[in-house]
Chain A
């Protein structure tokens, strides 16, 4: 792997889903023409944020090879991940990218002892650090603040959600991956335990050089741990850039809305938006032009007709006509 090669390079990927019955079949782009890349030499935490249905999870599942993209390419360490065929390549890929899912209670087979996941992972992936299988498990558990003594012989239903989530992080770490894909890892965990996991991620990045894709709709933790943030809406990345910039001074009207609904939970407008969300959901997917136009308080006539391009402004990319060059209808830029 050359030094300049990106760790993860996503080129214009799109995932289409068909919805509706066989009389009124519609295609919905869960992820539409998304490109982003993460550098290999400097590990980072990239947050994907956005409301439900914005495509964050689908994007993550495509990176994990759990969902196949309809269009576009995903390169991992320079290699197209759809070209992975043999078992050996698959194992190599999975050792390097590990998932962490939202619901810790569904993360483990209820009929198997917890440690079996740890042993399987340790057994199937040869260590990059030395040490026996037991040692590697113990050190991974120690990283998440647990020890084998608390886990041994126990079944998933005997542990709390917070403990389980930490075990699933430990399981991912045993493989010593370069990239963690964490899909809302703290949303089902008690608020008091959230910070310990979030801090763990930060620590993994700083001290163990693990890059993390952190999916959340909790902008507070995103602000706290991530380096960059990508705001997704209706399948598009509408704004992407350094987290401090994007959240401190959001450019895209949707980012502004997101931030307001978190910082000012009492604000009337924020709640109104939440309530009408589901009813306009399918309409937004199908709409031409900017998907956010009908909820946007600063829309222009052009927003209704033409999809805005991603434009470079102030160290970030924004998909909005307010910052794009009007009249230049080139989405590929």
Chain B
């Protein structure tokens, strides 16, 4: 088994690398094959303002911008340079907030998004699955029906509508929570209660909106999985083996139903790098989603590419981790 497991690990890592390389190559190619030329766009914008009317100055500016964007030289040269920059952690300067490097913008937003989405994803996953499993196992109980109705009405609500409703209700009508931002303005960062509580207060509403909708989704999926498994012969056999109900619920039903949910969680964790685009925008939360949103509006190619690259790496790593951990949960995977 030792050897086959090692091959399994190596295969999965190779697969992951391949996906990352292909994904990043596509992100590299798309702007280069798109009909809009970013250099042209900036120059046109500048021209419209009536500055730099001298053709030589325009030419000089074009050259400088082309170099800055890494668009000089052949496609092959650009590609090599792009990878060299990426591997040394340099994604070039942002165009909209020039001359700040893309890397430092991402570094500034990542912790906010990471903390917010990681916590909400895990809270939603755990509660949604626990409740869903209980509701599926005790499907004919009254509370199970009530829970299902609540979850089914939460689940289809788009998360940004939920965000907006919560914002209006709990920040405007009953102003218990701040309207937006990540921390009170003017507070000095530091490891003290005032600063941390301010972060928590600001993160509460966006987190709640994501958790509520998330719980609904996981609940609905888990309940369906569990109701299917409960009627399986192996559960009846376990009952007839005198296994106590609690053990059947955890060991025979929930464990089996969780397998697809684990994959789902991994996919969601990977998407953290996309941020919760609109949630962050609604709450004015300085995360990756907000960054991506403003980059798209400003036509900031290098920033969009930076976020895309991080997203690709994030999703692939999450999938890789789940793939590697899967044999621990499912004995059937080892031998494939």
User: In the bound complex, how far is the Cα of B332 from the Cα of A103, in angstroms?
Assistant: 19
Interface centre among A110, A111, A175 (most CB of B within 10 A): A111
Query: Is A221 part of the binding interface, using a Cβ–Cβ cutoff of 8 Å?
Result: no
Query: Is A312 part of the binding interface, using a Cβ–Cβ cutoff of 8 Å?
Result: no
Chain A residues near B242 (CB-CB < 8 A): 91, 94-95, 120-121, 123-125, 175
Chain B residues near A99 (CB-CB < 8 A): 236-237, 240
Which residue of the partner chain, among A110, A120, A125, A155, contacts B238 with CB atoms under 8 Å?
Answer: A120
CB distance from A6 to the nearest CB of B (A): 22
CB distance from A185 to the nearest CB of B (A): 12
CB distance from A57 to the nearest CB of B (A): 12
- Given known A-B contacts A94-B242, A112-B251, A120-B242, A107 and B237 have beta carbons under 8 A apart: yes
| A 144-173 contacts with B by CB, 8 A | 155, 157, 168, 171-172
Query: Is A66 part of the binding interface, using a Cβ–Cβ cutoff of 8 Å?
Result: yes
Q: Are A94 and B239 in contact (CB under 8 A)?
A: yes
Total number of A residues with any Cβ neighbor in B under 8 Å: 28
| A 93-144 contacts with B by CB, 8 A | 94-95, 98-99, 101, 103, 106-112, 117, 120-121, 123-125
Query: Is B233 part of the binding interface, using a Cβ–Cβ cutoff of 8 Å?
Result: yes
Query: Is B255 part of the binding interface, using a Cβ–Cβ cutoff of 8 Å?
Result: yes
Query: Is B72 part of the binding interface, using a Cβ–Cβ cutoff of 8 Å?
Result: no
User: In the bound complex, how far is the Cα of B243 from the Cα of A290, in angstroms?
Assistant: 44
Which residue of the partner chain, among B239, B240, B252, contacts A109 with CB atoms under 8 Å?
Answer: B252
Q: Are B233 and A103 in contact (CB under 8 A)?
A: yes
Residue of B nearest to A102 (CB): B233
Total number of B residues with any Cβ neighbor in A under 8 Å: 19
Query: Is B329 part of the binding interface, using a Cβ–Cβ cutoff of 8 Å?
Result: yes
Residue of B nearest to A174 (CB): B241
| B 200-252 contacts with A by CB, 8 A | 232-234, 236-243, 251-252
Q: Are B236 and A109 in contact (CB under 8 A)?
A: no
Chain B residues near A109 (CB-CB < 8 A): 234, 238, 251-252, 256
Query: Is B2 part of the binding interface, using a Cβ–Cβ cutoff of 8 Å?
Result: no
Q: Are B232 and A106 in contact (CB under 8 A)?
A: yes
Chain B residues near A112 (CB-CB < 8 A): 251-252
Q: Are B234 and A120 in contact (CB under 8 A)?
A: no
CB distance from B231 to the nearest CB of A (A): 10
CB distance from B212 to the nearest CB of A (A): 31
Provide the main secondary structure of the chain B interface: helix
Q: Are B241 and A120 in contact (CB under 8 A)?
A: yes
- Given known A-B contacts A111-B256, A155-B332, A106 and B234 have beta carbons under 8 A apart: yes
Interface centre among B233, B236, B240, B331 (most CB of A within 10 A): B240
CB distance from A66 to the nearest CB of B (A): 7
Residue of A nearest to B240 (CB): A94
User: In the bound complex, how far is the Cα of B243 from the Cα of A63, in angstroms?
Assistant: 20
Which residue of the partner chain, among B233, B237, B238, B331, contacts A111 with CB atoms under 8 Å?
Answer: B331
Q: Are B240 and A98 in contact (CB under 8 A)?
A: yes
Interface centre among A108, A109, A112, A125 (most CB of B within 10 A): A109
Q: Are B238 and A117 in contact (CB under 8 A)?
A: yes
Residue of B nearest to A110 (CB): B332
Query: Is B40 part of the binding interface, using a Cβ–Cβ cutoff of 8 Å?
Result: no
Query: Is B330 part of the binding interface, using a Cβ–Cβ cutoff of 8 Å?
Result: yes
Chain A residues near B236 (CB-CB < 8 A): 66, 99, 101
CB distance from B64 to the nearest CB of A (A): 61
| A 75-104 contacts with B by CB, 8 A | 91, 94-95, 98-99, 101, 103
Binary per-residue interface labels of chain A (184-201) against chain B in the complex, 1 for a CB within 8 Å, 0 otherwise = 000000000000000000
Q: Are A124 and B243 in contact (CB under 8 A)?
A: yes
Q: Are A124 and B251 in contact (CB under 8 A)?
A: no
Q: Are B234 and A157 in contact (CB under 8 A)?
A: no
Binary per-residue interface labels of chain B (292-336) against chain A in the complex, 1 for a CB within 8 Å, 0 otherwise = 000000000000000000000000000000000000011110000
User: In the bound complex, how far is the Cα of B77 from the Cα of A198, in angstroms?
Assistant: 75
| A 56-76 contacts with B by CB, 8 A | 64, 66
User: In the bound complex, how far is the Cα of B238 from the Cα of A120, in angstroms?
Assistant: 8
Q: Are A121 and B329 in contact (CB under 8 A)?
A: no
Which residue of the partner chain, among B237, B239, B243, B331, contacts A168 with CB atoms under 8 Å?
Answer: B237
- Seen from chain A, the residues whose Cβ lies within 8 Å of a Cβ on chain B are 64, 66, 91, 94-95, 98-99, 101, 103, 106-112, 117, 120-121, 123-125, 155, 157, 168, 171-172, 175
Given contacts A99-B236, A124-B242, A125-B242, 5 further A-B contacts (CB under 8 A): A109-B252, A112-B252, A117-B238, A117-B241, A124-B241
Instruction: Pull 24 A–B residue pairs with CB atoms less than 8 Å apart, ordered by A.
Output: A64-B240, A94-B239, A94-B242, A95-B242, A99-B240, A101-B233, A101-B236, A101-B237, A106-B234, A107-B234, A109-B256, A110-B331, A111-B256, A117-B238, A120-B238, A155-B332, A157-B331, A168-B237, A171-B237, A171-B241, A172-B240, A175-B240, A175-B241, A175-B242
By Cβ-Cβ distance, the 10 closest A-B pairs, closest first, are A124-B242, A121-B241, A120-B241, A106-B233, A101-B233, A155-B331, A109-B234, A107-B233, A94-B240, A120-B243
